[in-house]
């Protein structure tokens, strides 16, 4: 069960509260307001009176004068027939619009609940609401329902639908507002209508005894956002935490508008709340008969409500500080119910994984890795994947487009803090979890689209300890598509890990790209959907603590694997983070630039949604334009905005969740005007939101780790312009006869080991895999990196240490007594020089041929290059066992080896062409193409070598083969230009050969 927290009663200030937003500054009604009201009045006159009058005078009666007959079907359709048909349609539209106006006027004047929805009148009712709102803008009544004139012309949103009651522990409290309450709340900010929350309708309860039953009427948002039970309890009971007593007294009782209170954070203007007997305050109403100051209608509503059993059945609720039993029905983010984790054996379950990723204090070597990265598996996987892509890009740019010489085949070897950060990423990353999360979400979107069902609004996702995925919905959305199941209630959709592993890739847009990890609770990881927030999320706490949260959120959003496209705007921090993902991260200097940018984007998105006929980005993502539109934009503002800027941001965030825009804003005090959700980060690394029931171990990225991670990315930047020399392989071997190794492993092709006996029993595959990892990392491997590679699900330290000792015993020692598996000063495992792989020899031969003895001797160069190409027997670690060597996905050797083979083939081809041996050159290129078939340089050189044979037919066959391999993509421009030079008639010749 989720832990709940309350404010510290002994502290100097209460803890963070997740409540309705703060009041916004009041402004006097301007001449523009009166002008809008006048224009709205004229528009209503024209639409309600002018339209029917014009139809009656100009068209007359449009319907036939007699009974219908079959002869009508044979008559020619005339202009009059078309006009009369159109007139009937206009009359029907006018009647529907008139009904909408009447419904909106009644709701505005009564102030009770939300307007009823006229069937099939989406745009018409919205237009009616805006016109009535503008007409009443000069009066206080309009503040209770208008969502702002800036939204004129948009479609009705989900907030017009009656809210469905949520069951136990729904995420409605995450954010209890739902779309309905959020739109109305933010609307008050947009209109900035009245200033006071005080309401003078009720009689004073100051002279009542504690035993009297009192009632409170939820107030309309006159110049501020909606009431909340927390604020009501704080004003009238002296402690916001006593909101639970009010909730229990009124839960599931029918309100004047026919709805029922089912979530503590979902209340509506006009609802009646029975209060505990010790409530005090001028807004309270005593027993209905003692309330002469309220209107007769309100007296009747309270009398009817009193008879539903609140005072008689509930007994006035708890008294005191609200420290009784926890209310399981109160809306909050709750942990999903956990299923027993399967027994994986050998300590490889979740517990083992936690030990693997735990603090490094227990390491025998006495050193550790950054805990912030070890404890963030999704963030680490995203960073590791992005770093691998950056390094591969650098390799290809070095190979294909370098000017002034190659930068080398090897990326810079990180040292110091950067090396520790890289090891922490390798240990902490959970790429399989990221893959399954992505597959699960896209599979859900595809299934719902196939059933013509919209995507439900998801506030949060929990990744439980046993690998299951739980989505918390804003409100019940029916039965999920298989293999998804209902969770502990109607607002939980659950997918078991075993079912997620059965998903296959689907061609659909990412449905929830705004999910981001915030931290863990009881071994379950919470991902909050910032994109779905109905307003601003505020984060309070010390500046350095907030910085760690903001950096973690920014880094994960920039590199995560479950989003297609997004923009993350960083304001007040993070300029140094942009190298992580230059295409996603954008830095702005100040709030003024942010507001200007977001105003333009908000207008553009509203227009795009309207033009596409969509009511939100969620429905747009399941439509035909899913891959080109509706990418999220998440704004991270670390510096606390001024009061004026906060109001402007609140106005922008009013419609943000519908448009796919999220706002996370830092604040020192915790009081941010317009904030819908409030959280606090403590100095102990706890992320708190008491009203939501949240107490997380926060996911952070401290400054030291930020710098180390950024260093890894900047060192691998292919566009970096520096004076670094061409890199050499990190390990060169003696290729002479005297340098024969004691242990020789063949990795390029089928895996073979020469010089060691095959280990006995089940440990043989593990020892072979461990040796391969060490051979690919001659700079050394951290023991925890080794164990995470061999046991991705985790393993205890004693199992890992036992394997290392067996590996050390298997490798043995050199004649001088030195162990072939040692430990360097940093504690990393490192092989002796007497243990060599064919990949080491391959690199050494190429280096010696191009930069060593072969650079000055043509004969030596040819011999070394020929020997190197002979070593290539196939792909790296061919025929390796299924299910093992998963760590290779983190490596760039799959890009390095083909490029190295291509470089050797090109060098050997050039060597032969210098002496006119075209056939030998073609032979070398064909051998290299076997390992690097997609390398454009090899094909271009093969065209030149074939052209040197003066065999036009053969050249045409090579060109035809190249065109066939290129497929629908077509030939690269440089290859086309080369063919135009060598074979001007190649297009017709290729067609003839084909």
Query: What does the DSSP 8-state code read for residue 755?
Result: S
Instruction: For residue range 702-724, list pLDDT tens digits in order.
Output: 999 999 999 999 888 766 655 55
Specify the range with the lowest mean pLDDT, choosing from 268-272, 395-399, 501-505.
Answer: 395-399
Task: State how beta strands 835-837 and 743-746 pair.
Answer: parallel
Mean pLDDT, residues 530-542: 88
Determine the pLDDT at residue 20. 38
Share of the chain above pLDDT 70, in %: 73
| pLDDT over threshold 60, residue 161 | no
Q: CB-based burial of residue 271 (10 Å sphere; 0-12 exposed, 13-18 middle, 19+ buried)? A: buried
Place of tokens 């003895």: 853
Q: What's the pLDDT score for residue 35?
A: 77
**pLDDT tens for each residue of 382-433:** 999 999 988 888 887 776 654 333 444 566 788 889 999 999 999 999 998 9
Question: How far is 266 from 162, CA to CA, in rounded Å?
Answer: 11
Least confident of 294-298, 534-538, 797-801: 294-298
Q: Are 235 and 138 in contact (CB under 8 A)?
A: no
Assess whether pLDDT exceeds 70 at residue 89: yes
Q: How far apart are the C-alpha atoms of 779 and 793, rounded to whole Å? A: 25
Mean pLDDT lowest for which of 222-231, 270-279, 489-498, 617-626? 222-231
**Alpha-carbon gap, residue 646 to 672, rounded angstroms:** 7
Which DSSP category does 585 fall into? E
Question: 384 vs 535, which has greater pLDDT?
Answer: 384
Question: What is residue 302's predicted lDDT score, i.e. its pLDDT?
Answer: 84
**From the CB of residue 460, how many other CB atoms can be counted at a distance below 10 Å?**
23
Find the mean pLDDT for residues 732-756: 89
- Report residue 77's pLDDT band, with 50, 70 and 90 as the boundaries: low
* Contact call for residues 295 and 221 (beta carbons, < 8 A): no
SS3 48: helix
More confident residue, 616 or 664: 664
Predicted confidence (pLDDT) per residue in 911-937, tens digit: 999 989 999 999 999 999 988 888 888
The secondary structure of 186-251 as a DSSP string is HHHHHHT--------SSPP-TT--TTS-EEEEPPP-SSS----HHHHHHHHTS-GGGHHHHHHHHB
- Give residue 625's pLDDT: 53
Q: What is the mean pLDDT of the chain?
A: 76
Q: Which helix (H) or strand (E) holds 303?
A: helix 296-306
Q: How far is CA 308 from CA 271, 272, 314, 317, in A?
A: 14, 11, 11, 15
Alpha-carbon distance of 244 to 271, in angstroms, equals 17
* pLDDT, average across residues 172-187: 39
The percentage of the chain sitting over the pLDDT mark of 90, rounded to a whole number, equals: 28
Q: pLDDT category, 908, cuts 50, 70, 90?
A: very high
Q: What is the pLDDT of residue 408?
A: 47
pLDDT at site 136:
66
Contacts of 928 (CB under 8 A, 6+ apart): 869, 872, 901, 902, 904, 905, 906, 935, 938
- Position 342 confidence tier, pLDDT thresholds 50, 70, 90: very low
Task: Tell me the torsion sign for CA atoms 246, 251, 255, 257.
Answer: positive
pLDDT of residue 116: 64
Instruction: Record the tokens describing residue 77, joined without a space.
Output: 């359709």
Residue matched to tokens 């020089």 = 833
**Residue 884 contacts by C-beta under 8 Å, 6 or more apart in sequence?**
765, 769
Asked whether the predicted pLDDT for residue 726 surpasses 90, the reply is no
Confidence of residue 483 (pLDDT cuts 50, 70, 90): very high
316 φ/ψ sector (left φ>0, alpha ψ -120 to 50, else beta): left
DSSP state at residue 56: I
Residue 113: predicted pLDDT = 45
- Decide: residue 891, CB within 10 A, 0-12 exposed, 13-18 middle, 19+ buried: middle
With a cut of 80, say whether residue 525 has pLDDT above it. Answer: yes
> CB of 355 within 8 A of CB of 196?
no
CA–CA distance, 518 with 664 (Å, rounded to integer): 12
* Mean pLDDT computed over 805-812: 94
- Whole-number Cα distances in Å, 278 to 167, 311, 631, 769: 30, 13, 51, 71
DSSP assignment of 75-109 = S---HHHHHHHHHHHHHHHHHHHHHHHHHHHHHHH
pTM of the full predicted structure? 0.66
User: According to the model, what pLDDT value does residue 658 have?
Assistant: 84
Question: How, if at all, do strands 675-681 and 686-689 pair?
Answer: antiparallel
Q: Residue written as tokens 């299951």?
A: 468
- Look at residue 891 in the predicted model and tell me its pLDDT: 86
Tell me which long-range contacts 760-765 makes (C-beta under 8 A, separation of at least 24): 763/803, 763/806, 765/881, 765/884
Q: Which two tokens stand for residue 161?
A: 């639908």
> What pLDDT is stored for residue 190 in this prediction?
36
* pLDDT at 972 exceeding the cut of 90: no
Tell whether the model's pLDDT for residue 114 goes beyond 60.
no
Q: 51 pLDDT band (50/70/90 cuts)?
A: confident
Q: What is the pLDDT of residues 455-480, one digit of tens each?
A: 898 989 999 888 899 999 988 889 99
* pLDDT at 613 (0 to 100): 76
At residue 701, does pLDDT exceed 90?
A: yes
> Taking 90 as the threshold, does the pLDDT of residue 654 lie above it?
no
Amino acid 985: pLDDT: 85
The pLDDT of residue 132 is 77
Interatomic CA distance for residues 78 and 398, integer angstroms: 73
């Amino acid at each position: 069960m989720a832990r709940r927290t309350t404010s510290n009663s002994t502290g100097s200030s209460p803890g963070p509260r997740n409540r309705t937003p703060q009041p916004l500054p009041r402004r006097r009604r301007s001449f523009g307001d009166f002008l809008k009201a006048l224009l709205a009045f004229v528009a209503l006159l024209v639409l309600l009176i002018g339209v029917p009058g014009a139809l009656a005078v100009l068209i007359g009666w449009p319907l036939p004068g007699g009974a219908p007959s079959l002869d009508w079907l044979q008559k020619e359709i005339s202009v009059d027939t078309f006009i009369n048909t159109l007139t009937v349609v206009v009359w029907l539209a006018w009647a529907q619009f008139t009904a909408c106006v009447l419904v909106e006027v009644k709701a505005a004047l009564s102030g009770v609940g939300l307007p009823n929805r006229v069937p099939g009148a989406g745009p018409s009712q919205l237009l009616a609401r805006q016109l009535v709102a503008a007409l009443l803008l000069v009066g206080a009544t309009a503040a209770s329902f208008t969502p702002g004139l800036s939204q004129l012309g948009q479609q009705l949103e989900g907030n017009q639908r009656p809210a469905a009651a949520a069951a136990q522990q729904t995420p409605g409290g995450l954010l209890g507002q739902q779309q309905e309450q959020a739109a109305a709340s933010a609307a008050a900010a947009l209109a900035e209508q009245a200033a006071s929350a005080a309401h003078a309708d009720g009689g004073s309860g100051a002279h009542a005894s504690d035993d009297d039953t009192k009632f409170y009427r939820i107030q309309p948002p006159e110049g501020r956002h909606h009431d909340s039970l927390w604020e009501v309890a704080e004003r009238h009971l002296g402690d916001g935490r006593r909101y639970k007593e009010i909730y229990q007294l009124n839960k599931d009782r029918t309100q004047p508008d026919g709805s029922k209170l089912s979530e503590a954070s979902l209340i509506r203007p006009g609802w009646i709340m029975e209060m505990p007997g010790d409530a005090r305050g001028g807004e309270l109403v005593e027993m209905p008969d003692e309330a002469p100051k309220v209107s007769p209608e309100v007296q009747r509503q309270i009398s009817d409500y009193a008879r539903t059993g609140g005072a008689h059945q509930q007994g006035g609720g708890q008294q005191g500080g609200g420290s009784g039993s926890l209310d399981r029905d109160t809306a909050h983010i709750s942990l999903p119910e956990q299923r027993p984790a399967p027994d994986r054996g050998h300590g490889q379950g979740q517990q083992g994984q936690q030990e693997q990723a735990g603090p490094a204090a227990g390491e025998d070597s006495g050193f550790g890795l950054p805990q912030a990265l070890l404890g963030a598996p999704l963030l680490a996987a995203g960073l590791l994947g992005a770093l691998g892509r950056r390094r591969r890009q650098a390799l290809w740019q070095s190979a294909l487009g370098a000017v002034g010489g190659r930068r080398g085949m090897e990326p810079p070897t990180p040292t110091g803090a950067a090396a520790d950060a890289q090891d922490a990423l390798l240990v902490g990353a959970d790429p399989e979890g990221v893959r399954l999360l992505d597959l699960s979400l896209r599979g859900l979107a595809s299934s719902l689209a196939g059933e013509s069902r919209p995507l439900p609004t998801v506030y949060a996702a929990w990744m439980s300890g046993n690998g299951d995925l739980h989505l918390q919905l804003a409100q019940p959305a029916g039965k999920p598509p298989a293999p998804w199941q209902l969770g502990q209630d109607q607002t939980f959709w659950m997918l078991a890990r075993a079912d997620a592993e059965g998903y296959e890739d689907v061609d659909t847009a990412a449905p929830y790209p705004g999910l981001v990890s915030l931290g863990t609770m009881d071994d379950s990881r919470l991902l909050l959907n910032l994109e779905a927030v109905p307003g601003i999320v505020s984060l309070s706490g010390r500046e350095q603590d907030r910085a760690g949260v903001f950096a973690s959120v920014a880094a994960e959003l920039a590199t995560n694997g479950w989003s297609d496209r997004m923009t993350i705007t960083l304001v007040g921090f993070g300029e140094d983070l942009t190298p992580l993902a230059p295409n996603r991260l954008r830095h702005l200097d100040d709030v003024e630039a942010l507001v200007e940018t977001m105003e333009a984007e908000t207008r553009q998105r509203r227009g795009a949604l309207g033009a596409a006929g969509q009511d939100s980005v969620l429905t747009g993502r399941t439509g035909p334009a899913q891959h080109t539109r509706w990418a999220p934009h998440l704004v991270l503002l670390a510096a606390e905005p001024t009061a004026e800027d906060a109001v402007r941001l609140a106005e922008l965030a009013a419609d943000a969740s519908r448009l796919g825009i999220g706002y996370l804003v830092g604040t020192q005090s915790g009081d941010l005007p317009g904030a819908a959700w409030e959280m606090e980060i403590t100095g102990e690394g706890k992320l708190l939101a008491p009203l939501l029931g949240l107490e997380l171990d926060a996911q952070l990225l401290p400054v030291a780790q930020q710098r180390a991670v950024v260093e890894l990315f900047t060192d691998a930047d292919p566009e970096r312009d520096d004076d670094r020399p061409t890199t050499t392989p990190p390990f060169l071997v003696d290729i002479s006869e005297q340098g024969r190794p004691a242990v020789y492993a063949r990795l390029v092709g089928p895996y073979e080991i020469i010089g060691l006996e095959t280990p006995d029993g089940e440990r043989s595959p593990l020892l072979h895999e461990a040796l391969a990892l060490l051979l690919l990392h001659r700079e050394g491997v951290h023991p925890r990196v080794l164990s995470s590679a061999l046991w991705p699900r985790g393993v205890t330290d004693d199992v890992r240490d036992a394997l290392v000792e067996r590996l050390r015993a298997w490798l043995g020692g050199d004649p001088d007594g030195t162990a072939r598996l040692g430990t360097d000063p940093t504690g990393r495992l490192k092989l002796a020089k007497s243990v060599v792989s064919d990949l080491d020899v391959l690199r050494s031969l190429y280096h010696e041929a191009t930069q060593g003895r072969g650079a000055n001797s043509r004969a030596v160069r040819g011999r070394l290059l020929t020997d190197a190409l002979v070593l290539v027997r196939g792909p790296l670690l061919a025929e390796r066992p299924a299910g093992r060597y998963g760590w290779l996905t983190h490596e760039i050797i799959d890009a390095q080896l083909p490029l190295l083979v291509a470089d050797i083939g090109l060098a050997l081809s050039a060597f032969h062409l210098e002496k006119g041996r075209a056939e030998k050159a073609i032979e070398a290129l064909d051998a290299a193409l076997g390992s690097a078939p997609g390398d454009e340089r090899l094909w271009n050189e093969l065209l030149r070598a074939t052209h040197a044979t003066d065999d036009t037919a053969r050249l045409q066959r090579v060109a035809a083969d190249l065109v066939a391999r290129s497929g629908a993509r077509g030939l690269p421009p440089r290859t086309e230009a080369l063919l135009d030079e060598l074979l001007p008639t190649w297009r017709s010749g290729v067609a003839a050969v084909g």
